Structure 1
Amino acid sequence: MNELTKVETTLKDWETDQEVRWCPGCGDYAILKAVQRTLPQLGADPANTCFISGIGCSSRFPYYIESYGFHTIHGRAPAFATGVKLANPDLDVWLVTGDGDGLSIGGNHLMHVLRRNVNMQIMLFNNEIYGLTKGQYSPTSRENTRSPSTPLGSVDHPTNPCAFALGAGARFVARGFDVSKNLPDVLKAAHAHKGAAFIEIFQNCIVYNKDVFDDFAAPKGAEDRQLWLTHGEPMLFGNQKTGEIKGLKLDAANFRFEVVDVVDGDWQAAGVQVHDATNRMLAHMLVELPFGPFPMPLGVIYDDPAPTYESAVMAEKARASEGKDTSLAKLLAKGQSWTVE
């Protein structure tokens, strides 16, 4: 497998002639632009890039990216993407799915692409609702969500996508949200990771679940409700301008986080934890933090590369064919064969 050759492109080079058809105000527009802005910065080549999706609002994505793409079937995008990557390991593969597509019918397929560690970027758009099929509750919908399928309120306990990914063995887990200025940086980090890179992207469904993420994503007061993580940096949040800074401290005795005040910028004196993106146990604690008492952890939560699935498959194939004639024509003609005149 070769390193991807970087080429010079602009945002316009990644736009198609297709009319972008999402509901006005949908968060998918912002995600699309974030991806189209990021690809030129990565030096990505449209001729060597493939976007693969399943079924859902998010899965219209390949129509709007000027590259190769597959709009596949419900929940099976990971299987298609795995096949594409094995057929041509040098392709830059992006998988686009949603909370319904990826965590209901597609949960089994998503689990396996993560545990196998197939080298691709996996963007899961989480709007906590089924949008394309008109607003039924999804695996990530909060308890008491009222929808056409749960008119009295959902009694299901919601799935945590990042916890699912870690449990499935993912080696890269990150979070962002549709209109965040930091989303491109998260996408770049995912692309730099060699292996299955899982990004949960909170996405506002303007019609069926409007502003459900405003509790942490709304601009006003966001600094108090968002914890943007950077490897090797202290876990700080709060208002830098007013000096009202807080941080997360790890209570080693009880193995849990607590929020502490940071006085005069001295985070070390406050005992604030430094983020270690290679620490899997720390990642598990961060993705399970209850929002409200704690800020929403965002950015790269876990990043600890391991050998990829396709590299192991290619190595096994090389061993199996070593010293053998791998000509398909000769194999077909070998043994009992005849020619029809």
Structure 2
Amino acid sequence: MTIIETPFVGTDLGITGVSEVPTATTKQKPKDYTSDQEVRWCPGCGDYVILATVRGFLADLGLRRENMMFVSGIGCSSRFPYYLESYGLHSIHGRAPAIATGLAVTRPDLSVWVVTGDGDALSIGGNHLIHALRRNVNMTILLFNNRIYGLTKGQYSPTSEEGKVTKSTPMGSVDHPFNTLSVALGAEASFAARAMDSDRAGLTEVLLAAARHRGTSFVEILQDCPIFNDGSFDQLRRDNAADHLIPLRHGEPIIFGADNEFAVVQSGFGLEIVSTRTVRESDIMVHDAHADGPEYAYALSRLSDQDLGHVPTGIFRSVRRPTYDDAIRAQSESAAERAPLGDDSLQRLLSGPETWTVD
């Protein structure tokens, strides 16, 4: 089967990833998504901001809370389902995408979300993550990246920078970290984006686009751990943050800096950052989130480096292609039409010619 990727630019919920999910009959508020559970994160944790942003965003989305399912794995971020007044499942380490896949296949009337962390998703859960992305299951994956294992008290994670001194690496980590967006795009994610916990407007914009996307939406959220990795993203929050953050807006030239003094241009098979004074305006890359293949978005992801010198944020890629769950349901319907099951189908299966007796 030939898969043709096409740009997905619609904003009407009737043609999006939540098209089959019932909507609420009355206007909702963030408090409607606030459960009665005590929120138990460390003071100053970036998860608080993400939780408040998600509650507000879900109210604007307008779906029935009974038809929303949040699945988490293990880690600080995985407490998320407890704090939302919707259905949720606190699963096991790294397996949230696998459980969410089953839900998406069997319940097209659900809006399925995965909440995970850099340790949960990219270590023991790495295999499940990449296969959910390549299959393009209709779910939204939120990966909280604080570059550390927080719940288990400060070991280095798959995204910790080289040389990171932690309880498990007292002489500094010798591991090379994952670039999370590169991993997602390498698995040909049909939607990939990045936002920061402190940028509520940018995070809300990305979340809305992710929910409206039909297929697997992958959103990395850079998030501070004040206890075990405090200040890990401070460089992206200070007065000169504009020199480090590269905002991506579809159809606009990629220019950044406090005075728009930097730009992204093509360099060989990749991209590089140059001074706007040294290039012609026509040479500056115009961001295309709907490019057919993942190569361009992958090149954008490689602009990030370990010391956070330059970090693109926003939507890297958003294309439309067939989803795994739609295909599975179509196959099941086709099989049922070929061989309808009768009331005695289970008995026929148990006593049919494919059984045998062991003496």
What is the DSSP-based 3-state SS (H/G/I as helix, E as strand, rest coil) of the residue aligned with 1:245? coil
- Identify the residue that residue 227 of structure 2 maps to in structure 1: 207
Residues 293-318 of structure 1: CA distance to partner in whole angstroms, max 9, x if unpaired? 96310010111121111000011111
> What letter corresponds to residue 324 of structure 2 in structure 1?
Y
Normalised to the residue count of structure 1, the TM-score between the two structures is 0.91
- Identify the residue that residue 328 of structure 2 maps to in structure 1: 313
The CA deviation at 1:335 is 7.2
Counterpart check, 1:278 vs 2:293: no
Residues 43-74 of structure 1: CA distance to partner in whole angstroms, max 9, x if unpaired? 12211100000000000000001100000000
Counterpart check, 1:331 vs 2:345: yes
Q: Which moved more, 1:45-54 or 1:245-254?
A: 245-254
Residues 250-293 of structure 1: CA distance to partner in whole angstroms, max 9, x if unpaired? 23556432322269xxx973632110012322111111114479
Counterpart check, 1:84 vs 2:103: yes
Matches within 5 A, 1:247-262: 247-253=262-268, 255-261=270-276
Normalised to the residue count of structure 2, the TM-score between the two structures is 0.87
- Aligned residue-pair number: 328
What is the DSSP-based 3-state SS (H/G/I as helix, E as strand, rest coil) of the residue aligned with 2:105? helix
Which structure has the higher relative contact order (CA within 8 Å, separation 6+)? 2
**d(CA) in 2 for partners of 1:46 and 1:6?**
9
What is the DSSP-based 3-state SS (H/G/I as helix, E as strand, rest coil) of the residue aligned with 1:125? strand
What is the DSSP-based 3-state SS (H/G/I as helix, E as strand, rest coil) of the residue aligned with 2:327? helix
- Identify the residue that residue 245 of structure 1 maps to in structure 2: 260
In structure 2, relative to structure 1, the CA distance for the partners of 1:219 and 1:44 (3 Å cut) is: farther
In structure 2, relative to structure 1, the CA distance for the partners of 1:108 and 1:158 (3 Å cut) is: same
Matches within 5 A, 1:1-341: 3-7=20-24, 8-181=27-200, 182-216=202-236, 218-239=237-258, 244-253=259-268, 255-261=270-276, 269=281, 271-279=283-291, 280-291=294-305, 295-327=310-342, 329-334=343-348
**d(CA) in 1 for partners of 2:302 and 2:271?**
11
> What letter corresponds to residue 334 of structure 1 in structure 2?
R
**Are the equivalent residues in 2 in contact too, given 1:259–1:294 (CA < 8 A)?**
no
**d(CA) in 1 for partners of 2:159 and 2:349?**
56
In structure 2, relative to structure 1, the CA distance for the partners of 1:251 and 1:84 (3 Å cut) is: closer
The CA deviation at 1:39 is 0.6
**d(CA) in 2 for partners of 1:237 and 1:83?**
42
> What letter corresponds to residue 21 of structure 2 in structure 1?
L
**Are the equivalent residues in 2 in contact too, given 1:262–1:270 (CA < 8 A)?**
no
> What letter corresponds to residue 127 of structure 1 in structure 2?
N
**Are the equivalent residues in 1 in contact too, given 2:196–2:223 (CA < 8 A)?**
yes
The CA deviation at 1:167 is 1.1
**Are the equivalent residues in 2 in contact too, given 1:174–1:302 (CA < 8 A)?**
yes
Residues 308-339 of structure 1: CA distance to partner in whole angstroms, max 9, x if unpaired? 11000011111111143334x420233776xx
**d(CA) in 2 for partners of 1:213 and 1:295?**
12
**d(CA) in 2 for partners of 1:4 and 1:171?**
21
**Are the equivalent residues in 2 in contact too, given 1:145–1:154 (CA < 8 A)?**
yes
The CA deviation at 1:215 is 1.5
What is the DSSP-based 3-state SS (H/G/I as helix, E as strand, rest coil) of the residue aligned with 1:128? coil
What fraction of aligned residue pairs are identical, expressed as a percent? 48
**Are the equivalent residues in 1 in contact too, given 2:54–2:204 (CA < 8 A)?**
yes
**Are the equivalent residues in 2 in contact too, given 1:260–1:270 (CA < 8 A)?**
no
Uncovered stretches (5+) of structure 1, i.e. residues with no partner: none
**d(CA) in 1 for partners of 2:107 and 2:95?**
19
Residues 123-163 of structure 1: CA distance to partner in whole angstroms, max 9, x if unpaired? 00000000000000010000111111000100100011111
Q: Which moved more, 1:315-324 or 1:57-66?
A: 315-324
**d(CA) in 2 for partners of 1:336 and 1:188?**
48
Q: CA RMSD in A?
A: 2.0
Uncovered stretches (5+) of structure 2, i.e. residues with no partner: 1-17, 352-359
The CA deviation at 1:12 is 0.5
